[in-house]
Structure formats: C-alpha cells, structure tokens
Structure 1
C-alpha cells in the first residue's frame, strides 16, 4: 500500500529518533549488567535477556521506519514478554535464585525435551534418518537416559504449571497482583499483546486487521497509521524504562541515570504531537 509522502517522512523520522534514543540509553544498563553480586550463571542469563530485548527493540524501530507496522507489532510483543521476564526475575532478591533456576534450568530442560519429541517425529517419517544431512537434527536428540530423567522430573502437570507461570499472561497477572508500585497499570499491556498474538498466529482477526485499515477513508487511515507508529515506539521505550527501573532497584544503584533516561523518553514522545487526539478526532469526530 502506498501512503502520502508526509506519512512516510514522519514515521521514518520518529522511528529514527526512537532508535537513536534507544541506543543512547542502553548503556545506562551497565550498573545492572556489571553488578558484582551476580553468579556467573546469573550474569550470563541476564546478558541473554537484555541482549534479546535490545535486538528486538532495534528491529521493531527499523520496521516502523519503513511503515511495516504490523510486523513491528510482533517484535514489540517479544520485547514486552522479554521485559516482563526480566522484571519477574529481578522483582526482589528473595525470589531471584528460585526464579532464575526455573527460567534458565527447568524451562530450558523442558524446551529440550519438547524439541526432542518434535525432532523424533520428523526423523520417523523421513526415509533416510541416519544420513549425514540429518546430523544437525539428530544432535538435538536426548539420550534415552536424559529423556527418561526429564520426563520423570517434569511430567505434564509440572510442565504446564511452569510454562503457565512464565507465559505472558501468568507474568502479567503475578506482577499486577504483587502490590509492587513499579507494576501498577501493567495490565494495560495485555490488549496490545493480544493484538500482536492475533497477527503472529494468523487467525482471522490477525489477517483482517491490515486490510480493514486500508479500507478506511484516507484521512482516518493516515491518522491511525501515525497513532499506531507512535504507540509502538512508546511501547519499546517504556519497556526499556521499566527494565532500567527494576534493574537499578535490584542492584541498589544510584537512580539518577534512570530519571535522566525517563526524562528523555518523555520529551521525545511529547515531541511527536497529539497523534492519538488527532486520530480520535478523525475517527469519531470532535465530540468523540
């Protein structure tokens, strides 16, 4: 779909500004990453999570710059989930070791077990499973002892409980109910995550959203495009702000860099103007 040049120019400019700010703020996570209290395993796990969030955040902003908002929506979904997993891990010191063990060990073992089952199914239907071309997949198989041990340690009930607790809905519910002031209002992320899930899974809602927008009158469509782009940029930056807040609290570091980052994020989002108000006026009229 082709849009007016001014729409492309605005979205690219806003996304580029968001990307520049993201890259400017990311080094502020250093006190968390370099905290001396981490074990080797804990430091590595947090490095994995933070790197994944940063990588997907940058990719989402690059897609927004090229007006690929629906694809960006799926990456922002990943950023949200990665952010809440990071926050759940670092919510408090008392639960860190247990939660880290669940995330980096128990859920990892369950994932290997499930991958084993899927690879086994594939190899069972190919005519030449022992040929060299299937070596990369065969290397993913567990030994009989490993499969039996994992199956016994993590039966279906245990697997479902762990995966439910660490899924987005479980994490959001746990953090929302915790009474922790940092997570007041995080339930608002559920709707955006749900929309992204429709798109990711290509259900009827997901595949119809984009075409529904394109069928709108140009004024309504363009106003919605800009509001959507800013909301995605905002989600990426707000997730970064939340990770910084939770990380700095956990390691008990001076929060001045967090306040400075929050101020820069607020200023950038305000600079985009009243895109939501403009869309509401275009969609519903001045009376709403």
Structure 2
C-alpha cells in the first residue's frame, strides 16, 4: 500500500491532466474538419487521433490509481500513434504516398498476417467447422485475396514497410529530416523502450515494479511522484505535437497552438520540485 499523499497527489494531477486534455481536444477541430482531406484521408486521421486521445485518457485514469507501469504501456501507444500522425503530416509533398502506405499497404499486410494466425488456430482445434469458431473463420481471406496480397507484397517488401513504419524507423526518419517541430521526439525513445520491457513481460519488465516497491518508503514515494508527473507530461506533450503538426499542415493560424502550449506549461508548473526532490533522495550531492 502506498501513502495517502501518493494517492491524493497522483489522483489530483491525473484529474487535472484529464480535464486539461478534454479542454484542449476541441482545438484539434480545424485539422479534423480541413476541407482539403479526401474522405479516406479524413477517416484515417480521425481514427488515429481518436485512438491517441482514447489511450491518453485511459493512461491518465491508471495514473490516478497509481498503476504507473500499466499506464506506461498505454503511453507507449500514445507515443507511437502521435509519431505516425506527425510522420503522415510532415509535408504535403509526400502525404499521399505515406497515407497509402499506412492506410492501404500496411492494412493489407495486417490482414495477411491475421489470416495466417487465424489459420494456425483453426488447424489445432478439434472442431474448426463448429459455430463457435465462426468469428475466427471470418478472419480468413479467400484464396484469391490471399494470393493477391501475397503477390502485391512479398516477404521482403512486407518487412521493409513494417520496419519503415516501426518506432525506430520513424524516429530515425524524423531525426534525419531536421524537422523543428518533431526534433524532440527522440526524447520519447527511452520511455518507449522501458514500456516495451513491461509490454513483453521480459525479465527487466517483470522486475521493475517489484524492485521499486522494495525500496524504502521515502525513495519509493519520491520516484512514484516523479514517474507520475513524467507520464502525464508525456501525454500532454504528444497532444501538443499532434496539434502543432496538424496546424502546420493545414496552414492554420498558430495562435491556438501557442495558447495550448501555455496552458500545458502552466499545468506542468504544479510538478515543480518533484523531479529535484527525487534526485536529492536517489542521487544526493556528495
């Protein structure tokens, strides 16, 4: 059990972060309603923005109950969704090609892989034709569809596209581009990597939470507060990046983006001293 201070402070921060996020969400409306989108493009971006917003709220709810390691996994999803959104809208000259890769090519490859996994499952059950397995059978492609996708995207092409659109590939591409709006995205790489350990339940991921809970109360509480503040800050930073990149792409007045940044910064000021308090306990000056 954690102290009352931990529960009260993390819940207050998470609630304030959630209210701020909901206050700022309508500022994204000009991007969603931009008349320059073709219907499929509008749907793709709406899906991506909705997924990022939904996972952001879920992560904040987990922080409110001090479930920080589980929140890390959702923040990882928010980070990746934001990265893909920013990559899609990085420039008008390559938007259509990137949209095709993300919304069509990778979608088809996903269907192909889902078919293989569904077929593997049906191959090991004793009654694959039974009604109970119909939801799985519905994931199977027809022979024609399977051949069409396999011919269109060979194994090397599938690997190349998935690597390009993976976190490391996208981070590398944005870093090399010199884009001023996304240059700080590489800072999310460490948290993303740590969340990967937790997500995949490797020996590092499964030991993190236990090791922390075995620390002294002072050490544990200081890092819990610093960790909570960082998760909330990352969520809001991702929102601001999506907003800024979206406004730049549609060439909209940037004042709402500046105003959103000011509100986020004002909220961050409530975290003042949390990081230094943790550093002073965990890494005291000699």
Asked whether 1:82 is paired with 2:78, we answer: no
The 5 Å alignment of 1:187-266 reads: 187-266=186-265
Hey, what's the Cα distance between the residues in 2 that align with 1:4 and 1:33?
43
Hey, what's the Cα distance between the residues in 1 that align with 2:3 and 2:129?
56
3-state secondary structure, aligned to 1:182: coil
Note the alpha carbon deviations across 1:116-173, whole angstroms, 9 max, x for none: 0011111111111111111111111111011111111111100000000101111111
Hey, what's the Cα distance between the residues in 2 that align with 1:139 and 1:284?
56
Hey, what's the Cα distance between the residues in 2 that align with 1:109 and 1:186?
28
The 5 Å alignment of 1:121-200 reads: 121-200=120-199
For 1:68, the equivalent position in structure 2 comes to: 67
Unaligned runs of 5+ in 1: none
For 1:114, the equivalent position in structure 2 comes to: 113
For 1:277, the equivalent position in structure 2 comes to: 276
* 1:185 CA displacement: 2.6
For 2:97, the equivalent position in structure 1 comes to: 98
Hey, what's the Cα distance between the residues in 1 that align with 2:185 and 2:53?
20
Q: TM-score, normalised by structure 2?
A: 0.99
Task: Give the count of matched residue pairs.
Answer: 286
* Worse-superposed segment, 130-139 or 38-47: 130-139
Hey, what's the Cα distance between the residues in 2 that align with 1:279 and 1:286?
12
Q: What is the Cα-based RMSD across aligned positions, in Å?
A: 0.7
* 1:286 CA displacement: 3.5
For 1:27, the equivalent position in structure 2 comes to: 26
Hey, what's the Cα distance between the residues in 1 that align with 2:127 and 2:67?
41
